[in-house]
Structure 1
Amino acid sequence: MPAARESLLDAAYTALARRPWAGVRMVDVAAVAGVSRQTLYNEFGSKDGLARALLRRETDTYLRGVERALAQARDPVDRLAAVSAWTIGAARDNVLVRAVLTGFWTERLPAPSRAAVSSSPVPAQRRADAGVPTPAELLTQVRDRAMAALVERGRPSETEDLARACESAVRVALSYVVAPAGREEDPARLVRRVIAGAAGR
């Protein structure tokens, strides 16, 4: 039932853009997705399960964007700058990604939670029920993915420099997420300077 699951998650995301999560009704989500309310409950178990699945999907979408930025055949500094640009854009455009990245949750959003024990027969829901990473865990995941994509055979000192550069790229991007720059300021330029400095260039 992957198509129905995606339609339900799309409907939930659209509903959240219009009203606080507390005002999102399961019956409305099912109706917009064109499925029965029973299908919705079979897939997610509860409204909390739907929230966990929605947060997991948006987090995974963000991480896939990180991987796309890293897969570009360019200089490492350019690829890390692309990760930073993606992070800033994804957080600007998606309130759930911004919350997962920063840990700042408003009452409009579903709160991140983990199911005590997932009894869902749906594998995707069991994964969602484990919850989303904390901001620190997500930063580590992005840094580690960047390291895996960029590291080449080299001396340990070079690997340490690259690790610092990877973490710096994400931290600088997060600073722009929390305190957006003015129109005249170019985040990409600062990101490149910071990364180059962290990498010892």
Structure 2
Amino acid sequence: MPAARESLLDAAYTALARRPWSGVRMVDVAAVAGVSRQTLYNEFGSKEGLARALVRREADAYLAGVDRALKEGGLDTVAEWTVASARRNPLVRATLTGCWSERLPSPTLSAVPSSSAVPAQRRADGPLPAPTDFVSAVRDRSLAALGSPGAAKGETETLARDCELAVRLALSCVMVPPGEGGVGRMVREAIRPGRVAS
């Protein structure tokens, strides 16, 4: 029931934009999605399960955006995507920084026991990414996209450092907005030419 699951996640995200997570009611999420409350519970098991699935979906969407940014540009584009995504989406901002406000669900980052028959929920019930996981994931994706096969070890290590520096600069700009020129300029100035654009 992937369509119902996505509709429920969309409804939960919309509800979260209007009220704190503590005020989001499962019956309202189901009604907005046009499914029964039983369908909601069959998909997610509980409100905590819904929260975990919502956080997982937003984290996956952020990483898919990183992949698109790497195809369109380079490390500066990834940094700009990171800041824009965190500014637009409070769940992405919270997962990237570890700063969860009282308005947001605060799902346990460690895995929770899952008896769900729904594969997507079993994945959501697994460990959720922590900020350090995002740094590693973005660095590794950037390294894979921008590196060249057969590059010397020193060259690969320098590229890995540049990739991590770019993501850490972006995360600092999520916490404290960048000045004139934005995060892309900061990355272009901090990283050797050729690393910024692919």
Partners of 2:123 and 2:18 in 1: how far apart? 27
Q: Residue 157 of structure 1: which of 147, 154, 163 is its match?
A: 154
Contact preservation (8 Å) 1:52, 1:131? no
Contact preservation (8 Å) 1:49, 1:129? yes
TM-score relative to the length of structure 1: 0.92
User: Are 1:93 and 2:92 counterparts?
Assistant: no
Equivalent residue number for residue 172 of structure 2: 175
Report the CA distance between 1:146 and its aligned residue.
0.8
Deviates more, 1:187-196 or 1:116-125: 187-196
Equivalent residue number for residue 75 of structure 1: none
TM-score relative to the length of structure 2: 0.93
Report the CA distance between 1:149 and its aligned residue.
1.1
Partners of 1:160 and 1:147 in 2: how far apart? 10
Which has the bigger relative contact order, CA under 8 A and spacing at least 6?
A: 2
User: Are 1:129 and 2:125 counterparts?
Assistant: yes
Amino acid corresponding to residue 60 of structure 2 in structure 1: D
Deviations along 1:136-181, whole A, 9 cap, x unmatched? 0111011111111111121100001100110011011111100012
User: Are 1:102 and 2:94 counterparts?
Assistant: no
Q: Which runs of 5+ in 2 are unaligned?
A: none
Equivalent residue number for residue 36 of structure 1: 36
Q: Which runs of 5+ in 1 are unaligned?
A: 73-77
Moved over 3 A (4+): none
Report the CA distance between 1:32 and its aligned residue.
0.3
Equivalent residue number for residue 186 of structure 2: 190
Report the CA distance between 1:55 and its aligned residue.
0.1
SS of corresponding position for 1:196 = coil
Equivalent residue number for residue 116 of structure 1: 112
Partners of 1:185 and 1:151 in 2: how far apart? 27
Number of corresponding residues = 193
Partners of 2:31 and 2:93 in 1: how far apart? 28
Partners of 1:154 and 1:148 in 2: how far apart? 12
Amino acid corresponding to residue 16 of structure 1 in structure 2: L
SS of corresponding position for 1:109 = coil
Report the CA distance between 1:191 and its aligned residue.
1.3
Percent identity between matched residues is 66
